[in-house]
Structure formats: C-alpha cells, structure tokens
Amino acid sequence: MKDFVKKKLNLYAPTIPVILSDPRQNPNNTMAYRFELDRVMPLSEDTAAIICRNVDTEKKAAVFAWWIGNRWWRLVPTDSHVLGMLMFPAIKGTVEAENFDKITNPEED
C-alpha cells in the first residue's frame, strides 16, 4: 500500500466506529450500540478490513474499505455480498479475456 493511501486509511479508520455508533448515520443501529476501533487489516494495495468492537456486546463488525477516486469508501458486507464477490474474479477474468483482442492503443499503431 502506498504511503499516501496508508496515511489516509489511518485517518479514515477511526471515523468508522463513530459512524457505526450513530443511529442517524447508521439506521441499522436501532439499539444505539457503541463501537470502537479494534484494528485495521490491509488486504491489498487498495483495500482493507476495518474491525470494530461493539462495546456493549463484545461482538465485532468487519467493514470492507476500498480506495478509489482519491478517497476511502466503505461497506459492511453481508454473507451474500461476500459470496457474490467470491464469484466475481471468474467473471472479471472472462471479461478481460473477451476484451483482450479489442484493446488497441493508437499511440502504438
């Protein structure tokens, strides 16, 4: 992970438990649970898992974060989201293979 992206992640990660704790920002938090940052786990050059601990129940929440467009984005993925993303690499590989012969760079012609 590039230093600039890592620095931005370290600034972004502490905002996640604040968002999760606030029922106005997180309508799924109907019980007004409080969260704190547990740890940040880099996953790739542009992705990370941000783990938050529920102070009230001791359970943890895994937030998937990705860097795109010069900022961090987030998703609290469900099992269905994770399953879908496990299927995605095969589809992405197929699309890349189909596009391979169609890619041309006019500067190299």
pLDDT band for position 66 (cuts 50, 70, 90): very high
Beta strands 60-68; 47-54: pairing state: antiparallel
pLDDT at residue 64, rounded to an integer:
98
Measured between alpha carbons, how far is 64 from 48 in angstroms, rounded to an integer?
Answer: 6
pLDDT at residue 108, rounded to an integer:
63
Q: Domains in the chain, start-ordered, CATH in brackets?
A: 3-77 (3.10.450)
Give the angle 14-15-20 at the CA atoms, nearest 5°: 110
Average pLDDT of the segment spanning 85-99: 94
- Residue in 63, 48, 36 with CA at minimum distance from that of residue 2: 48
pLDDT band for position 68 (cuts 50, 70, 90): very high
Measured between alpha carbons, how far is 106 from 104 in angstroms, rounded to an integer?
Answer: 6
Average of per-residue pLDDT values in the chain? 94
Query: Is residue 109 over pLDDT 60?
Result: no
